[in-house]
Amino acid sequence: MARRKGSRIHGWVNVDKPPGMTSTQAIGALRRLLHPDKIGHAGTLDPLATGILPIALGEATKTISFAQDATKDYTFDVVWGEQRSTDDAEGEVIAASDFRPAEDEIRAALPAFIGTIMQIPPRFSAIKVDGQRAYDIARNGNDVELEAREAYVESFELTDCDGDRASFRVTCGKGVYMRSLARDLAVELGTVGYITRLCRTRVGPFDVKNAISLDILEKMDESARLERCLLPLETALDDIPALAIGEPEAVRLRSGQALTYISRGDMDRLSAAGIEVSPEPKTCLALLKGRPVAIADIKGVEIRPVRVFNL
């Protein structure tokens, strides 16, 4: 059977991923429902994890990096007393401890994990080692040596504690592993532990308010899916300034040419957009009558296209 040609759909679908599904499977489900010509997601979720998985369609795939770089919110539960090979409930027990930290001990340990920290990712992660995914190497029974990497944790809060387990809420930057946070916190407290529940509740502007489950999407017809669930391409760009441009400027940007702003009127337009002229490059979204034209870098008086949208 011939493969159905992809549709020119541009925007984001904020999927509320269920447990037991990989991020790749979520992509496959949405591809089957909407048939986009291009598709990609903004940050992998573990199969056992639930929550926010923003999926970009069409030209919105050019904005994925902005969503990936956005801050994220997570909630998770940790069970004390066992360490698992995967640092979550899927793995085998590899260590045990009878010690259970008290609430005041947990709260006292959290500040050490806030700010810029060094973190070793879980052995079962999607990081590539010599061209292979770490989880593939680990599943084959081979040792995986992962180097510590810098990570940024904005906040780390204890929300519940009952002896054998504790619940947490985290806001963090790109590439922070909750399984590693739980593992390292347990070691800091003089015990071992692993995550039993993990939910991502926000990725930048994508949160539970604009998320939808695949089950609900399945029950809609295709037109309803697009009308009710497709978020604008520029959703992932909500934290960069928007610059209104005219048709001649749009033509130049679309052809890869730079604009030069030197007149007082041009300076006023930049100021109105909240953009300050500086030798340091700044990023903006160029809009023609409210429609995205390009992501552009502004350096001094020059505006140069970085990603052009074919809409």
Listed by start position, the domains of the chain span 11-69+205-236, 72-201, 240-308
Does domain 11-69+205-236 fall under CATH 3.30.2350.10? My reply is yes
Q: Distances from the Cα of 200 to the Cαs of 114, 149, 169, 291, in angstroms? A: 18, 21, 10, 30
Residues 6+ apart with CB under 8 A from 35: 4, 5, 6, 7, 9
Question: How would residue 213 be classed by pLDDT, with cut points 50, 70 and 90?
Answer: very high
| CA–CA distance, 138 with 146 (Å, rounded to integer) | 11
Q: Which residues are catalytically annotated?
A: 46
Crossing angle of helices 222-229/23-34, nearest 10°? Answer: 120
Which superfamily is assigned to 72-201 in CATH? Pseudouridine synthase (3.30.2350.10)
In a 13 Å sphere around the CA of 66, the CA atoms on its Cβ side amount to 22
pLDDT attached to residue 138: 47
pLDDT in tens, 240-265: 999 999 999 999 999 999 998 878 88
Is residue 121 within 8 Å of residue 150, measured between CB atoms?
A: no
Residues 6+ apart with CB under 8 A from 74: 51, 169, 170, 172, 178, 198, 199, 200, 201
Instruction: Please report, to the nearest 10 degrees, the dihedral formed by the alpha carbons of residues 216, 5, 293, 29 taken in order.
Output: 30
| CA–CA distance, 227 with 221 (Å, rounded to integer) | 10
CATH number for 240-308 (one of 2.60.40.10, 3.30.470.20, 1.10.1740.10, 2.30.130.60): it is 2.30.130.60
| CA–CA distance, 162 with 248 (Å, rounded to integer) | 64
| CA–CA distance, 167 with 311 (Å, rounded to integer) | 45
What pTM did the predictor assign? 0.89
Report which residue type is found at 285: L
Shared fold status for 11-69+205-236 and 72-201: yes
pLDDT in tens, 56-75: 999 999 999 999 999 999 99
pLDDT in tens, 146-176: 678 899 999 999 999 998 999 999 999 998 9
